[in-house]
């Protein structure tokens, strides 16, 4: 018994040591003292295809920023993603900052994040998740108003006539600026219903989508305008797109609301990426996905909310896609955090390309050496952690996936 207790204590000690390898609080690094009044930038809020005919979208979600040891590493990851990818627009899909007990602290967190985009003149679109306003001093409307004080924000407060706050569309102009060639839909998918279950896009928002879709089509000489959707909570149809199992299997996950049902990738569909936790849609379903199938202008829906899921599945002509949380939490599986890149070609807007970037894939030990030589202790410690934890996690993930495939014949991970 004593030996077991000793082993347990040693294991706990190792986890604590590894989990704190990269803890570093550097407020000056993340710009928490920056405010919109400091900005000298006037970001062009017109979104268009670049001179190369491409549109690059950076999808950041579930940063869960708060002033603790996770703060600087998370801000650093977002900053690094912007510098690596150089996107044309950033989509922030909820659970962005912890809503603090006073508005000033909440604003400091927003400042730190928005400074990244503002200082690089990158347009950014914001919508909210279930955590943004569930507690704290600021309402969704107050949060949106503050985000919009930054010159880089292209977000829209849709007003009191529509449910939620932050349901709007962003027309994407052609590279010559002559016409609307593409469209980005942004939906506030709510927080919780009266029973405390996850919410979803409401009927009035769906009606707005239908009318706006028809208007875009009419203004485009009767041709539908291809588009992508960004919101926090995934649609209920995700369970229709997966394969149902009556019993547990490796990499099969319980239905959120029906505990006797399990779901996994359907090998007969187009799949990519990995599922690592139960998809969590809203309890109700007012027909958002059905409306989009009917209109035929949506290529894919991109969501966050489920932090370790990085997958896409095709269903009724629309890809249902979930992106990783861009949040550092200091544990081994936190190296699963990352971001998604989506690219559209102006010459063929009927399709798109996407890829997931996991933070553990961005570092090897050669890069760690370079960071050490740079003299930046914070970056060195972060890169060392991601390289080490990533190596362990990649090995474990690949080995376990191969084992499941060998034993069951079932593929559990598809190429991103």
Taking only the tens place, the pLDDT of each residue in 268-325 is: 999 999 999 999 999 999 999 999 999 999 999 999 999 999 999 999 999 999 999 9
Q: Which residue has the tokens 């390898």?
A: 21
Distances (CA, A) of 348 to 53, 91, 105, 290, 317: 10, 22, 45, 25, 17
Cα–Cα distance measured from residue 129 to residue 63, given in angstroms and rounded to the nearest whole number: 11
292 — phi, psi (to 5°)? Answer: -75, -35
Q: Which residue has the tokens 């407060």?
A: 157
The answer on pLDDT for 390 being more than 80 is: yes
Taking only the tens place, the pLDDT of each residue in 167-182 is: 999 999 999 999 999 9
Question: For residue 378, what pLDDT is reported?
Answer: 86
> With left for phi above 0 and alpha for psi between -120 and 50, is residue 305 left, alpha or beta?
left
Nearest CA among 138, 224, 231, 133 for reference residue 181: 224
Question: For residue 257, what pLDDT is reported?
Answer: 96
Query: Could you tell me how many residues make up the chain?
Result: 416
**Side-by-side strand order, sheet with 348-358:** 124-127, 89-93, 54-60, 338-345, 348-358
Confidence of residue 87 (pLDDT cuts 50, 70, 90): very high
What is the percent of the chain where pLDDT is above 70?
A: 89
The answer on pLDDT for 7 being more than 60 is: no
Cα–Cα distance measured from residue 252 to residue 257, given in angstroms and rounded to the nearest whole number: 15
Mean pLDDT to the nearest integer, 241-257: 93
Cα–Cα distance measured from residue 283 to residue 325, given in angstroms and rounded to the nearest whole number: 22
Paired tokens of 141 = 């409307």
pTM of the model: 0.91
């Amino acid at each position: 018994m004593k030996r077991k207790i000793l082993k347990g204590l040693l294991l706990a000690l190792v986890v604590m040591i590894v989990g704190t390898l990269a803890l570093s609080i550097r407020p000056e690094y993340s710009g928490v003292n920056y405010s919109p009044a400091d900005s000298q930038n006037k970001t062009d809020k017109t979104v268009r295809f670049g001179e190369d005919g491409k549109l690059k979208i950076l999808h950041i979600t579930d940063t869960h920023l708060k002033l603790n040891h996770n703060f600087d590493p998370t801000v650093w990851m977002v900053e690094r993603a912007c510098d690596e990818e150089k996107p044309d627009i950033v989509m922030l899909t909820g659970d962005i900052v912890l809503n603090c007990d006073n508005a000033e602290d909440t604003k400091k967190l927003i400042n730190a994040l928005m400074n990244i985009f503002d200082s690089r003149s990158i347009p950014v679109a914001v919508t909210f998740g279930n955590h943004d306003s569930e507690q704290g001093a600021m309402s969704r409307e107050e949060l949106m108003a503050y985000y919009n004080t930054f010159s880089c924000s292209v977000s829209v407060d849709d007003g009191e006539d529509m449910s939620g706050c932050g349901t709007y569309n962003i027309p994407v102009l052609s590279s010559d600026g002559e016409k609307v060639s593409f469209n980005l839909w942004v939906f506030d998918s709510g927080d919780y219903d009266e029973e405390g279950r996850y919410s979803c896009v409401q009927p009035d928002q769906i009606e707005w989508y239908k009318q706006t879709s028809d208007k875009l089509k009419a203004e485009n000489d009767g041709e539908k305008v291809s588009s992508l959707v960004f919101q926090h909570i995934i649609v209920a149809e995700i369970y229709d797109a997966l394969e149902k199992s009556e019993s547990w299997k490796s990499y099969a996950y319980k239905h959120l609301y029906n505990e006797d049902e399990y779901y996994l990738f359907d090998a007969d569909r187009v799949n990519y990426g990995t599922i690592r936790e139960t998809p969590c849609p809203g309890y109700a379903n007012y027909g958002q996905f059905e409306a989009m199938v009917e209109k035929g202008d949506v290529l894919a829906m991109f969501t966050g909310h489920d932090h370790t899921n990085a997958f896409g599945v095709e269903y009724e002509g629309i890809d249902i896609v979930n992106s990783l949380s861009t949040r550092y939490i200091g544990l081994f599986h936190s190296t699963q955090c990352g971001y998604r890149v989506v690219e559209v070609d102006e010459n063929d807007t009927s399709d798109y390309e996407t890829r997931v970037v996991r933070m553990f894939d961005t570092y090897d030990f050669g890069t760690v050496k370079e960071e050490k030589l740079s003299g930046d202790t914070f970056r060195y410690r972060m890169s060392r952690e991601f390289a080490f934890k990533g190596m362990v996690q990649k090995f474990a993930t690949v080995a376990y996936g191969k084992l499941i495939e060998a034993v069951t014949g079932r593929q559990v991970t598809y190429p991103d």
